[in-house]
Structure 1
């Protein structure tokens, strides 16, 4: 590890461990006062404002759960991509659609291909996040037990070649490392994590968003699990935002910002460990929250406007095609069989309805096949998949 690069203000020490030394971070809060300038506080104010806008819209907009699920999945996919997964909405919805057509569930499908392995990771993230929110809503506090349950949900069912540990749902039992960085060894993890959770549960010292940023750095630095630390750490950001009243629903996909600025995301945390440069890390993190909150507002408003447009154009009709157009906001990825079953019509009628919406640009075929074709809501996915507009 970078022994010669550890500055006097580094918030941790190197502890000899066999032939190597591991990094033992000082507990939060930082021992020196943070030098946060006016630009930081302006960004913090903007982040708080946009989170408020997002939470308000989440309460006001009458969205089917599937659209919030799509925003949640965007966070899950972006987080998985940071760890090397290659996944998109098409692959995920196609996987589930095929399961519906086969009268099975995604959990029962084989995970033999790289794509299905990536899908398992995304679906696990989604379930873990939902479980975490339900748990916090039931007035259970953030605890080591909850972290273990979330970790188990993240990694259960993920193929062995995707998991670098035999310990799932518990802290690591053997040392791990990230490149030349050796995090706290197993014997040092319990104390470090108890101190971190105590800091959070007792209200921290700074603005809640600042404390969440400090928590994320500290968690990733402790690296308490044998695998899955990055995914769990990013999931905890969303849970803490919800726990602190900033998110009505999990519609902030902060991992998109981290993914698009992956090297900076890593470098800023490394610089804290080496030199104690908390300010650069905090500025990066809060800037990400600010931008992604506005991005979520833009997408939510766009989806709601589109839903209202479809209701005006198609909502009062008894034609299957028109009913299907409105149903896309509950099921944006369909097959003819799904349409036939949903509206209790013949397959030929379902196909005609799909073809009508294809001609209108509402649906598009995504497989390129003549049989077993799948269709997705063109404009809905255009909104979900478009690149960021604010950075």
Structure 2
């Protein structure tokens, strides 16, 4: 057996009598099932083919170049980093959620970010944004605790997932009522704490090429499946924490999940190959996803630059006005309320409303709700650019 291949152990199982299932499923659920035993990888050596390793290094250089070249690609808001950092964080979070079948368009996500009325999927994606940011903020302190913090942010309102806690029971991948016939059965919950400590130790190594290390760490995380739910999304936050920790990215969240969306079947197949002992496919998938993400990200920033240039021409208000100061904010938060404008520009309610009126007159904002108490406005050009990004990534908007 390859040293990277998962092992297996037989475990006892008894389905609850009231578990809804067919006679065929109940017959298959009798007796023991096989749970995986992932190997410890913290001290493992990996023999990666030279062409796979070279492609990974090329992809890593492209990520680093993208991070550097776009640091000042869009106008700044309040002296902070260009809003592209927020834009890419949200697009990556939305793409990561879409891999798990959770879809929210740019408009719904922008509204959810305001804590306004929004659908469940949009709220879930908004939580993924928070989890992604939490993981990146904790990159220098990469530990089981920081991974738990990211999971807490992601699943905070879903009690069944035990937010911020490792699972305390068996899970399986495939959707059936018992683990006996599923696609993959992760390890028993008792093994999870030690496996997570081993994974963190691997993540902290400095002798493994970065993108190879990131790819293998992600695959190992998904194999351990340490949570009741939210494993895929939390595992992809680990990718960005590691890229930030290694110094490859300093400013941006490169939308690697959007790259993975171009071929999700290949991504899931590569995870299966990793569990069978072959790490090359998952490294290749991350390399190709990185190239796709950078290309798509460059197209997005070009589109947003064009939007901003048009706004500058269309808006007639004076330089330094609240309306003009709001423009950079709209690139990263294309849905706003008067309250949002007051808080982010530190202006009075009348000044905020005047800015909205000027932007509406210029065709930059459009009202999307009715009534005086729940009015919000949307920057349609930004929404269109973000939805185009999603379409190119293969994600429904």
Unmatched 5+ residue regions in structure 2? 13-31, 175-181
Does the C-alpha gap of structure 1 residues 76 and 329 become closer, same or farther in structure 2, counting only changes over 3 Å?
Answer: closer
> Helix, strand or coil: the match of 1:169?
coil
From 32, 37, 55, give the equivalent of 1:43.
55
> Helix, strand or coil: the match of 1:178?
coil
| Count of residue correspondences | 356
Contact 1:332 1:377 in 2 (8 A): yes
Provide the rounded CA distance (Å) in 1 between the counterparts of 2:197 and 2:351.
60
Q: Can you list the C-alpha shifts for 1:55-88, whole angstroms capped at 9, x where unaligned? A: 2134334433654323211111122222222311
Q: Can you list the C-alpha shifts for 1:303-330, whole angstroms capped at 9, x where unaligned? A: 3454355446648736887676566346
From 226, 230, 234, give the equivalent of 1:224.
226
Provide the rounded CA distance (Å) in 1 between the counterparts of 2:135 and 2:341.
33
Provide the rounded CA distance (Å) in 2 between the counterparts of 1:378 and 1:87.
16
Contact 1:200 1:215 in 2 (8 A): yes
Contact 1:80 1:118 in 2 (8 A): no
1:133 aligns with 2:136: yes
Does the C-alpha gap of structure 1 residues 245 and 348 become closer, same or farther in structure 2, counting only changes over 3 Å?
Answer: closer
TM-score by length of 2: 0.76
Provide the rounded CA distance (Å) in 2 between the counterparts of 1:79 and 1:344.
37
How many Å apart are 1:340 and its aligned residue?
9.5
From 67, 78, 87, give the equivalent of 2:95.
78
Contact 2:366 2:379 in 1 (8 A): yes
2:68 corresponds in structure 1 to 56
TM-score by length of 1: 0.77
2:157 corresponds in structure 1 to 157
From 166, 173, 177, give the equivalent of 2:172.
177
Contact 2:170 2:189 in 1 (8 A): yes
How many Å apart are 1:255 and its aligned residue?
1.5
Within-5 A mapping of 1:180-191: 180=182, 181-191=184-194
1:385 corresponds in structure 2 to 387
> Does 59-68 or 240-249 show the bigger shift?
59-68
Provide the rounded CA distance (Å) in 1 between the counterparts of 2:314 and 2:167.
56
1:236 corresponds in structure 2 to 238
Within-5 A mapping of 1:1-391: 11-18=5-12, 19-28=32-41, 33-38=46-51, 40-61=52-73, 62-64=75-77, 66-97=83-114, 99=116, 116-136=119-139, 139=140, 141-158=141-158, 163=160, 165=161, 167-179=162-174, 180=182, 181-203=184-206, 205-274=207-276, 276-304=277-305, 306-308=307-309, 310-311=311-312, 314=315, 317=318, 328-329=330-331, 331-334=333-336, 345=350, 353-358=358-363, 362-364=364-366, 374-387=376-389
Q: Can you list the C-alpha shifts for 1:166-222, whole angstroms capped at 9, x where unaligned? A: x3222111111112111111111122111111122132x431110110000000001
How many Å apart are 1:30 and its aligned residue?
9.4
RMSD (Å) for aligned C-alpha atoms: 3.4
Does the C-alpha gap of structure 1 residues 186 and 355 become closer, same or farther in structure 2, counting only changes over 3 Å?
Answer: closer
How many Å apart are 1:13 and its aligned residue?
0.9
2:26 corresponds in structure 1 to none
